[in-house]
Structure 1
Amino acid sequence: MNLELNKKLISGTHFTSVQDACFQSNHSSVISFLNPFSYYEVAKDHTLIEQVDYYFSDGSLLCKLHNLFLDKITRASFDYSSIAADFLHAVEASGKRIAVIGATEQENAKAVEVLQQQYPKLNIVFNRNGYIEDKDAVVNDLNEAGAEVVLVGMGTPYQEAFSTYIKNRLLAPAVIITCGGFLTQTSIKPDYYHPLVKKLGLRWLQRMVMHKHVRERVLKQYPKFVFKYFFTMLGFKLKKQI
């Protein structure tokens, strides 16, 4: 549990203003998203807490627990049930050069193909898989391509670590934003979530049905997260630290 990380979570209602500020900034910024699994992965590394500029909650469970103790926040997630479409439209409209990094080589290529169909004017200048051995070589590729937006889908904590690594090594200001499994999901189906699933807020259930690793997280790790988060935050509150 990390109180500093908790207090860094921003409400999804502010995503557009954060996005616009990052687009206009003269330095690189990193935006990322937390759920009950990724929360503790990030909390282990103080560098990730410090170096990621903006964190949002990508699930209702974390929002509800957070709202019991701290200022109210709403969900923002990089998928088509939340902010992904608006963000990609904004990148397309701005003409900014975007790099797409993550997933396997095949998934990445398919996701880029789908994105180009959905957003014909999206200026994708670089793409590659998320299995990176030489980060400096990728930094060089991004600088050569003049990437102004970098979409990173590697899973936590790898995507945050990579994003913060390139943040201070890019020659020009860039908006670096993580997207978790978005590229893999997009390679499977352009709009991954069933409309009814989105309407009922059951994205976690669809992911559980479709992916074994998600089932393991939800069944084994999420209950531990709820228990630990609630009682740790309650302890902070009783000590009047929040």
Structure 2
Amino acid sequence: MKESFKQLDSKVRSKEQLNRLLKINGNKKFTLTTFVNPFSYNVLCAEPSLIQAMDIILSDGSLHKTLHNLFHENKVDRVSFDFSSIASEVLAQAAERQAKVVLIGAKPGLVDIAKSNFEKMYPGLNVVYTHHGYFENEQHREQVINQADQCKPEIVIVGMGTPYQEHFLVEYSQKANNACQLFTCGGFIEQSSIKADYYHPLIKKLGLRWLQRAIMHSHVRNRLIRDYPIFVLKYCYTHVRRK
């Protein structure tokens, strides 16, 4: 597990490094980007092959960012795929250059509501394919990948939760023919079906996104109570020993 921690930490990068990587790769190859927070950190560490498959990992949350910067020389910023961070940039740039976008995730029906909200926020946004994040079997997954790939997207955004979304990114990059930028987005698609800009402006200003999610969603409260303290203890113990 220590090696998994080290492997994951080595792939955590800043927003500037992400932009540089996307500029270098363009659409010449698949670029797999995911995000790590106190819940997903240990989940990803349990699957080293997923960490290895990612091109870049971003720090999703102030707690992880603070601990990472405490123990590592490569300082990073908080970067999330939501409207408090890079989602607005990705979608705005996609609309500006008419890039083809695929949305996959959330419960049946919600992804199309999110698509409608995005199109209102970003006139000209070209969402060419949507599908919910639930598959009956492997054949169904492959069918969705093939249908999405036939649309020749330049950006694919996947929200299924960790590790399912990371597995999907890897499978997509292995089976699709048209290279593109692949992003995980956690609950972003489902949140955007509830409200286009999910977070209250004051919440974003004060950096209390975790509090709004905890109030609105029981699974977030459970993570805060159970998973976050375990993450802090395990992370600090492992990195102090490594020092």
TM range (shorter): over 0.9
Counterpart pick for 2:36 among 34, 40, 57: 34
Aligned length: 236
What is the 5 A alignment of 1:1-242? 2-22=5-25, 24-70=26-72, 71-132=74-135, 133=137, 134-237=140-243
TM-score of the superposition, structure 1-length normalised? Answer: 0.94
8 Å contact kept, 1:147–1:174: yes
8 Å contact kept, 2:61–2:80: yes
Give the CA deviation at 1:17.
Answer: 2.6
Which residue is equivalent to 1:240?
none
Question: How far does the alpha carbon of each residue in 1:54-79 deviate from its partner, in whole angstroms, 9 at most, with x for none?
Answer: 10001010011111110211110011
Q: Which whole-Å CA distance do the structure 2 matches of 1:115 and 1:7 have between them?
A: 33
8 Å contact kept, 1:111–1:184: yes
Q: Which whole-Å CA distance do the structure 2 matches of 1:19 and 1:118 have between them?
A: 24
Unaligned runs of 5+ in 1: 238-242
Q: Which whole-Å CA distance do the structure 2 matches of 1:150 and 1:12 have between them?
A: 18
Partner-residue secondary structure (3-state), 1:105: coil
Q: Which whole-Å CA distance do the structure 2 matches of 1:181 and 1:34 have between them?
A: 13
Give the CA deviation at 1:25.
Answer: 4.0
Unaligned runs of 5+ in 2: none
8 Å contact kept, 2:131–2:144: no
8 Å contact kept, 1:13–1:74: no
Q: Which whole-Å CA distance do the structure 2 matches of 1:178 and 1:40 have between them?
A: 17
Give the CA deviation at 1:193.
Answer: 0.7
Q: Which whole-Å CA distance do the structure 1 matches of 2:240 and 2:58 have between them?
A: 22
Q: CA RMSD in A?
A: 1.2
8 Å contact kept, 1:15–1:76: no
Which AA in structure 1 matches 2:82?
Answer: D
Question: How far does the alpha carbon of each residue in 1:58-112 deviate from its partner, in whole angstroms, 9 at most, with x for none?
Answer: 1010011111110211110011111110111111222221110000122111101
Q: Which whole-Å CA distance do the structure 1 matches of 2:48 and 2:57 have between them?
A: 14
Which AA in structure 2 matches 1:67?
Answer: N
Task: Give the percent of matched residue pairs that are identical in Structure 1 and Structure 2.
Answer: 41
8 Å contact kept, 1:12–1:57: no
Which AA in structure 2 matches 1:109?
Answer: D
TM-score of the superposition, structure 2-length normalised? Answer: 0.94
